[in-house]
Structure 1
Amino acid sequence: MRKGLLLYNPVAGRFPVRRFVRDIIKPLEHAGWSIDIAETLSGTHAVQTAHQAAHEKFDAVFAIGGDGTVGQVASGLVHTGTALGVIPAGTVNVWAIEQGQKPFTWLQPGNLRESATMIANVEPQYVDVGDCNGQPFLLWAGVGLDAHTINKIEPRPRIFKHFAFPHYFVKTVWEATFWHGLDLHIYAEGELVKGHYLVAVATNIRHYAGGQSLISPNALLDDGEMDLWLLSGNNVADALRHYFDLVAGRHLTSDQARCIPFKNVVIESEANFSIQVDGDPMLGGHKAEIKTLHRALKVLMPENALYLLKTPQN
């Protein structure tokens, strides 16, 4: 019998998930899983608990929360034999939505069971993971306006999570009124790029901006490289233009946006900058060194999401 840990974040999302967690056990047990349950106390605790589960030879840790929780659990499972399973219940659930899962709400608590069923009996896959200054990430790592805003608003009270996108959008516009971008030196694959940018974001997945933007429509999770998007500009008008271009897909042909595929990249600035990983703030500085860890994480993915892989396991 396979052994799994349900690891849930009690403060994730718009709606507390604690009372519904046990509903997930039955579909997993029907698929042959023996299930334990644990609650995260912090982001660091989520990483440590996942790592301990891997040490105890659990077959999978099912992360119940948003993208931040998913990234934290993934951090604890990198280069182990324990798989990550995702059951979305957060404010932002881009990883899961990209793979066809529906997030939990109090009006749709059955989405938890449905998400669990979708990954209960699938063949484990292997995906790339990013590393930013020693911090693993699964979705994105970025510097610039998005990281600056995230560092201002996170962690936020649950009341603001009910208005997550409007809150983030208004705060970003407000910050862009006073914050005017960064002069960056970017070293990628033997090339030096210099410029003034509002955003520099590395993405491992196809979606960005809370899932509203298909930023890298051809990204694959296991191809050994990521995309670095550079968005130029220095004012709020540029920030708004980039947002609408990203949502409409116009960034793909814009001369104000540039994509650099990379395995390893270094971003430097004389000015101190904020950093975000998987939508959560991390310690900033003058340098961000981002590496692609090829097929470093074992994951449970819905069968209808295998198109996101270059070489799916059968």
Structure 2
Amino acid sequence: MRGQLIYNPMAGRFPSQPLVERAARILNANGWEVDIVQTQGGPHITKLAKKAAAAGLDAIFVAGGDGSLHQAAVGLMGTDTALSVLPAGTANVWAQELGLPGLSWTNWTALETSVKKLLNGTIRTMDVGICQGIPFFLWGGVGFDAFIVHHLEPRTRWQKQFPVTQYAANVAWHARTFAGMDLQIWVDGEKISGTYILALVTNIHLYAGGMAELSPGARIDDGKMDLWLFAGDTMLETLQHLVDLASGNHLDSEKACLLTCQDIKIKSKTDLYLQLDGEPVSPARNISISIRPQSLRVMVPRELPRELFSKKLI
């Protein structure tokens, strides 16, 4: 098996090079031929992923967070090369979905543990969303969450030492000024209109750095995604939605609506903040989202903490 281990020395909360090298040694001792490649992040990761796929590599292992994985997924979609995560980022939500431990002050062996779980795992295929021509594999958000992302990123390594505290402080601060969006939305051709604080398409269960289980029924290989619409336009309504998300009460809220769909179009008279996989994307007034079923190969452990797949592993 041939692979490549990509890491960004400036990503995440900790210098990861020695830990990445230890993870690579485990891979090479277990039948893999893996080279370590350093990147500065962003589009360079996409370029490396495309090059790895063109070379016929079996997998790339990304030592980073959800942003780095997003860039790699863009390059790997539609290829036979699998995406694998070594959670060295800040939130590591995809790794949380897979039950892989993130690198932290109390767990310096997280990358080695993750490698061992993945070596005993398997390769599955998952759906990918396309928004404004850009692939995403976790979420695509319009409104308040994208507003926060645009004001939060980029962060210094020092700021990443306190991700929950910093995120909560930014949410509380910016909730004062954010107003709801008047949207026209077409969901698989059916029109919906209203004022919303957040319109969020999700492919997975977890959200907000893994602090909220947004969509317990989501399946990443069913050819569909979940669209959540959170109605409102005031600061109090924004804060109430955040409390409901943290507690799971959004599942029963009259102001939160869940729709399962394949094609979404959103229109507004003003520019809309947009995020894909937690990364800021240029604002737009007309947004289109579609699904590419089972177009990304991913390496996952055999035992998962949540039901992610609709198709059972044989």
Equivalents in 1 of 2:140, 2:213: separation in Å? Answer: 16
Matches of 1:309 and 1:80 in 2, distance apart?
A: 20
The residue type paired with residue 78 of structure 2 is H
TM-score (norm: length of structure 2): 0.97
Q: Work out the CA distance in 1 between the residues paired with 2:273 and 2:43.
A: 19
> 2:251 & 2:12 partners in 1: Cα distance?
31
Deviation at 1:106, TM superposition (A): 4.5
The aligned residue for residue 96 of structure 2 is 97
- Tell me which amino acid in the other structure corresponds to 2:292: L
Counterpart in the other structure of 1:309 = 309
- Residue 27 of structure 1: CA displacement? 2.0
Runs of 4+ in 1 over 4 A off after TM superposition: none
CA apart distance, 1:105: 2.3
Counterpart of 1:73 in structure 2: which amino acid?
Answer: A
Tell me if the contact between 2:41 and 2:68 (Cα under 8 Å) persists in the aligned partners: no
Q: Are 1:71 and 1:138, in contact at CA under 8 Å, matched by a contact in 2?
A: yes
Deviations 1:176-208 (A, max 9, x none): 211212101110112101011111110000011
* Alignment match, 2:240: 241
Aligned to 2:71: 72
Equivalent residues of 1:94, 1:207 under 8 A apart: yes
Look up the equivalent residue of 1:125 and give its one-letter code. Answer: R
* C-alpha distance in structure 1 between counterparts of 2:118 and 2:6, whole Å: 15
Shift of 1:312: 4.1
Matches within 5 A, 1:1-314: 2-305=1-304, 307-314=307-314
Structure 1 residue matching 2:122: 3-state secondary structure:
coil
For 1:158, what is the secondary structure of its paired residue?
coil
Please give the per-residue CA displacement for 1:113-136, whole angstroms capped at 9, x wherever unaligned.
110111124331100111111111
- 1:226-278 CA distance string (max 9 Å, x none): 00111111122111111110111111111110011111101111110111011
Partners of 1:123 and 1:313 within 8 A in 2: no
- Work out the CA distance in 1 between the residues paired with 2:232 and 2:116: 45
Q: Distance in 2 between matches of 1:296 and 1:157?
A: 33
Q: Distance in 2 between matches of 1:65 and 1:298?
A: 18
Q: Deviations over 1:35-67 (max 9, x none)?
A: 011112231001111111001111000011111
Which whole-Å CA distance do the structure 2 matches of 1:18 and 1:237 have between them? 44
Matching residue's letter, 2:211: Q
Distance of 2:107 and 2:169 partners within structure 1: 28
Aligned residues of 1:251 and 1:257 also touching (Cα < 8 A): yes
TM-superposed deviation, 1:98: 1.4
User: C-alpha distance in 2, partners of 1:166/1:181?
Assistant: 25
The residue type equivalent to 1:141 in the other structure is G
Paired with 1:11 and 1:312, the residues of 2 have a C-alpha distance of: 38
Tell me, which stretches of 5 or more residues in structure 1 are unaligned?
none
Q: Is the 8 A contact 1:9 1:40 kept in 2?
A: yes
After superposition, what is the alpha-carbon deviation per residue over 1:5-60, rounded to whole angstroms, capped at 9, x for unaligned?
00112222111212221000222123210001111223100111111100111100
Q: Distance between the aligned counterparts of 1:268 and 1:8, measured in 2? A: 38
What is the CA–CA distance in structure 1 between the aligned matches of 2:234 and 2:39, rounded to whole Å?
Answer: 39
